[in-house]
Amino acid sequence: MTQFTDPRTLSKADLESGSIFAPKFDANGLVTALTVEAGSNEVLMVAHMNAEAIAETLRSGHATYWSRSRGKLWKKGETSGELQELVELRTDCDQDALVVVVRQTGHGAACHTGRKSCFYRRVEMIDGDIRLSDTGDAPLFDPEEVYGR
């Protein structure tokens, strides 16, 4: 298993400005990963990574996450063909969140619903009620055909 420097062993200056990658994993060994499309910077999805997922992403050049629901590594697009080619991996100032910049392959859909982005609904106040409204982003593939659901 891949080991990273424990962020608690670094000074604040080294953690925030140094060259040592020391992700601050949560109690479950995970860090939040925001995935954006290279070029447009459109937010595609939010997922989680553990040390193994980060290492595999860097090694393979394809975004790999930790699936909390399945309890295992998840190479994004392995089933659907909608692989995410890594362009850049960034960390925030205190190293407790990542931005995964990718080139989305296949039909261009990052979401399991077949849409480009998982963020295809807006939260709005309509006549005093909080509701969801669709952004109009149509699916790029039929998830029933791909996943058999």
- Using a cut of 0.95, tell me whether the model's pTM lies above it: no
Beta bridge partners of 73: 66
Question: Which residues make up each annotated binding site for Zn(2+)?
Answer: 93, 111, 118
Residues at the binding site are 92-94, 96, 111, 118
The phi, psi pair for 22, rounded to 5°, reads -140, 75
Cβ neighbours of residue 22 closer than 8 Å, sequence gap 6 or more: 4, 5, 6, 7, 9, 10, 15, 95
Kind and range of the H or E run holding 54 = helix 51-60
pLDDT in tens, the chain (149 residues): 678 999 999 999 999 999 999 999 999 999 999 999 999 999 999 999 999 999 999 999 999 999 999 999 999 999 999 999 999 999 999 999 999 999 999 999 999 999 999 999 999 999 999 999 999 999 999 999 988 86
Return the pLDDT at 1: 65
CA distance 129 to 146: 35
Binding site members for Mg(2+): 92, 94, 96
Q: Which of 102, 106, 126, 122 is nearest to 114 (CA)?
A: 106
Question: Tell me: domain 7-112, CATH 3.10.20.810, correct?
Answer: yes
Q: Output the pLDDT for position 2.
A: 77
Domain boundaries, the chain: 7-112
